[in-house]
Amino acid sequence: MARRKRQPIVPEAREGLDRLKAKVMREAGYNVSDQSPDDVKYEVARDMGVNLEKGYNGTITSKDAGKVGGQIGGRMVKELIQQAKANLGKQVR
């Protein structure tokens, strides 16, 4: 089965999303490569006791996959909300 690669609605946003992922995961204490920020998921999985390997992972449960993705995506969403709140205060009325 081919690996599905999620694409942002605005493809040009991929680079910015990767930078955001690297930033929030570094702040969480993870070692993140600028060239492969997606690889941080393996370190997160290891910390959570989830057996996530490069390649096919069809044997892990949805619950375990969600634990790993939630740690990363949740931190990204939290940071985006904080940025939006900060920008709301800067708006001129």
| pLDDT tens per residue across span 18-75 | 999 999 999 999 999 888 888 999 999 999 999 999 989 989 999 999 999 999 999 9
Is the residue at 64 inside a domain?
A: yes
Which tokens belong to 45? 């999985």
Is the residue at 78 inside a domain?
A: yes
Q: Please give the average per-residue pLDDT across 78-82, as a whole number.
A: 95
What range does the domain containing 19 cover?
Answer: 11-90
Collapsed DSSP state (helix, strand, coil) of residue 86: helix
Is the residue at 83 inside a domain?
A: yes
How far is the first Cα of the chain from the last one, in angstroms, to the nearest whole number?
A: 52
Q: Please give the average per-residue pLDDT across 2-14, as a whole number.
A: 76
* Structural domain count of the chain: 1
Count of CA atoms in the C-beta half-sphere (13 A) of 64: 15
Global pTM value: 0.79
Is the residue at 81 inside a domain?
A: yes
